[in-house]
Structure 1
């Protein structure tokens, strides 16, 4: 028997799973522990779309600020 890892679009998931559930000896193991909810993905994409260049900070500046705050 072989094992396969597949990444599919969210809107095709139910169709995909329902098809494979009817095949004998097929096991479907869902790994949802690291899954990012669709609403959160959409929120991040919207924020990225609306971000201005001045909203971004250089990593070096952010790291220095965090080090000053947490490594004292």
Structure 2
């Protein structure tokens, strides 16, 4: 498998995660990222980075909080 293919797969997964989170937010009366950040006890900027696929340990933790809040068990 080439690096490009791996990068493409990673980017596709990031887009899929972002879309799923945004869809869940929309279903909750068009929830804003600020509201989501407050609900999970995180900063708005860090929450935004997590939604957009940043790979830091903090972003992974935030995504897990979001998945738990929205009961996301699969993509």
* Structure number with higher helix proportion: 2
Q: TM-score, normalised by structure 2?
A: 0.25
Q: TM-score, normalised by structure 1?
A: 0.25
RCO greater where, 1 or 2, for CA within 8 Å and sep 6 or more? 2
* Rg larger in structure: 1
